[in-house]
Amino acid sequence: MEHEAPMLDLLGPLVSCLTDKTGAQPCAVATIIGTQGSTARQVGTSMLVTAAGEVRGSLSGGCIEGAVFEACLAAIASALPSRQEYGFSPDDPFAAGLPCGGTLKVLIQPFYPSDNVRKLDFASFTAAARAPAAALIRRIDNTTVSAMAVDDPLGFDPEGLPNELLAMVGDRSVVSSAAAQVSALIRSGRTGLVRLAPGKTGCADRPIQLLVETRLTAPRLVMFGANDFSAALGSAARLLGYRVTLCDARPVFATRAAFPQVDELVIEQPHRYLARIAAAGQLDARSALCVLTHDEKFDIPVLQIALDVHEGYIGAMGSRRSHDRRIQSLRELGIDEGQLARLHSPIGLDLGAVGPQEVAMSIVAEMISARRARPGTGSLSRTAGPIHGTTVVGLERSMH
């Protein structure tokens, strides 16, 4: 029995089994499509079983594989997909289940060497096996095996996605919603289910379900400055699927005890750390850089590098007076107007936010707005006047 594998990693072996000129054979793929409670594996984990009894991948590390194996052979024999649920039953401790107490919902899909055998189709998977694909979208609610591959999750055109999904979804009334949700999962590097209801499926109305799987890693949020605002922002960003890094040159403030929610804690001069990760190719267009230091000797050097090397979201906290000084300093360092126009400063949407948690919400909202290319959503960097309103001017000064 091999270690866990996503469907993307099994596409090559699957297509090889179905197209081998000397030994093509039917196969079945079991995929986790739902979890509850304590489980060792995540949605998207898959297991391949051939008609000859060969197995690739696993779903639970051994707890339910025997039962899944038999279910896969049954699917191959019947040409019918099935859904299985495995949990722990105290009434039958010897039944296939999870001793950890969790529950796995598993989809089992049969595949055959010929497209026309028993009206099941695997041709849409073959393109995904090449390259290899970076993302895979499968429809899992009906008996037709259908899928589409995305070779470049960062470069794909989400505007064209509705047309590509239409053949799979078969319902124009939900295809726009499907495209938006699928695109969000792919760009965030997450695997998950998209449910669209109601959809016409055969003769009954029932939800359309798409399983989206991607190899893309989670987008990065790199925060510079250890304070209450970065603590709140780190928590908020993790809810959106970001991998969060906090960088500060002051070890007395940047401690794991103070920032348990961040994925990485870096004690280093911010501009040096940014230059290092940029040179190593650890940033992409989805990455967000937030300068929260409130100290020009830190934020000016890091912003100078950020505006030169990073094409994604760049935000800097501060009052409008601090912003004016910051812009003047960056101009003196040779940053041109085109580069400055990409800087979100003061950071966040104009929500009248007060306190770390509300400010964090305004920042992540602006990050989403920038990622969706929605510039007309009231960024503080595009408006004028007090940041927090006239009733809390004193608080504004204390915060910025």
For the ranges 157-161, 191-195, 224-228, the lowest mean pLDDT is seen at 157-161
Q: What is the pLDDT of residue 48?
A: 93
- Distance of alpha carbon 255 from alpha carbon 137, whole angstroms: 41
Q: Residues 358, 363, 369, 371: is their CA dihedral positive or negative?
A: negative
Q: pLDDT: is 367 or 99 the higher one? A: 367
- Distance of alpha carbon 42 from alpha carbon 270, whole angstroms: 35
- pLDDT tens, position by position, 161-183: 777 788 788 778 888 888 888 88
Packing angle, helices 270-279 and 296-309, rounded to 10: 20
Q: What is the pLDDT of residue 134?
A: 77
- pLDDT tens, position by position, 27-82: 999 999 888 865 667 888 899 999 999 999 888 766 788 999 999 999 999 988 88
- Distance of alpha carbon 207 from alpha carbon 209, whole angstroms: 6
Answer yes or no: is pLDDT of 365 > 50: yes
Please return the burial class of 272, using the count of CB atoms within 10 Å of its CB with bins 0-12, 13-18 and 19+: middle
- Distance of alpha carbon 284 from alpha carbon 220, whole angstroms: 8
Q: List strands edge to edge, sheet with 343-344.
A: 264-267, 243-248, 220-224, 288-291, 313-316, 343-344
DSSP one-letter code for 278: H
- pLDDT tens, position by position, 197-240: 765 544 456 788 899 988 777 889 999 999 999 999 999 999 88
